[in-house]
């Protein structure tokens, strides 16, 4: 699985991590909460990745500070969330 964001046409600032054979993580750790505006950007990133690999499972790797609207949006878009500790 390719973890270079340029391969998917994404910004070099985006961090991707291979989790398993068919799962790719978007690593997003920010000091404040992940709000719906951030979640919309994450969904756009996921769509860009799925344009290359339609059957891939996308996972958001984040700390627990994420708003409920963002969680609902990501679940609707079938993006799983895995919480990490710093």
Verdict on whether the full-model pTM lies above 0.85: yes
Q: Is the pLDDT of residue 86 over 80?
A: no
In the chain the domains, ranked by start, together with CATH numbers, are 5-83 (3.40.1350.10)
Strand partners, 20: 23
CA distance 8 to 58: 13
Structure confidence at residue 20 (pLDDT) = 86
Nearest alpha-carbon partner for 43 in 31, 58, 61, 55: 58
What one-character-per-residue DSSP string does 4-28 give?
-GGGGT--TT-EEEEEETTEEEEE-
| DSSP state, residue 54 | T
Q: What is the pLDDT of residues 24-58, one digit of tens each?
A: 999 998 888 999 999 999 999 999 999 999 999 99
CA distance 27 to 63: 10
């Amino acid at each position: 699985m390719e973890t270079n964001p340029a391969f998917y046409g994404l910004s070099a600032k985006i961090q991707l991590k291979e989790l398993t054979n068919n799962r790719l993580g978007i690593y997003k750790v920010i000091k404040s909460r992940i709000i719906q505006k951030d979640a919309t950007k994450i969904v756009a990133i996921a769509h860009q990745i799925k344009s290359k690999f339609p059957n891939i499972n996308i996972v958001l790797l984040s700390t627990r500070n994420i708003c409920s609207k963002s969680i609902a949006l990501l679940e609707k878009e079938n993006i799983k969330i895995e919480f990490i500790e710093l």
